Structure 1
């Protein structure tokens, strides 16, 4: 016999005991009339099964889509680093779960996305504050509107031997040169490419 809380109603108690009956022949729903036995139980007396069949009955609880409907699921990711440090999954661990049929990735994806989003935002804010402080200290202001600047913006520069390393430089394109700056607002460019412009004379 299973122990159920005393706060349960008699209808709830009997339906659970019936569904959890060890003896299959005495189990609710297994005594000959299948689902009708469950539907006719007093616990479901207020349920309109026709409305259920037509999908018109709103359930009292709709769990979030893609999430585990259990309180323990909210503990995922809340481990102390000291408790998990040094733990490595072995091939035996992987073998144990290779045939596990259910993978709910939405919660994991959401957790990773939020973590990455927060990290990137914090790093971006830190860099932006550092740049603003530098501009203010050096009294640097953009006066590009009055110059012959054609185009400016960030450019990724490949510096790796095998093409795996990238650096970001602030680029300014002028009619006669291309400047690569370490940061926007730097007076002296890190690299300066000068263009030699040849003008052809056209004779009519």
Structure 2
């Protein structure tokens, strides 16, 4: 879940955010309050000067296959693929025409718009058409329905308590 390909499925990227990560069973033995307060020592702190790979010389190759030599025909073949490393004319056109400029619209003074602000309360759920009609014409129906529901629950409870 933490490294899911789809960002919407990743742990911590859903509605619960960091709370979802903290409540995941993998992290159940970590006291996050003590960790955040600096009381608890983290179990692992990466060394910023260290390179975590098998061999420093393999960094530029990015290949797990050893002993493979590419010749000019291979280079010609792979140069036909659009990998994104070299811009192609339509990419330049998209940038020049600024067709995606509306995706960078924010609220006043660069703030988040209301639909992206997680601190805003969610919109209340919409009532069904039938519910709106019944409450408009017969407001006592919803009250009576509530009383009937609670009365039926109480009668079921009393029947279960009287059973041998």
TM-score by length of 1: 0.25
More strand by share: 1
Give the TM-score normalised by structure 2. Answer: 0.31
Q: Which has the higher contact order (CA 8 A, sep 6+)?
A: 1
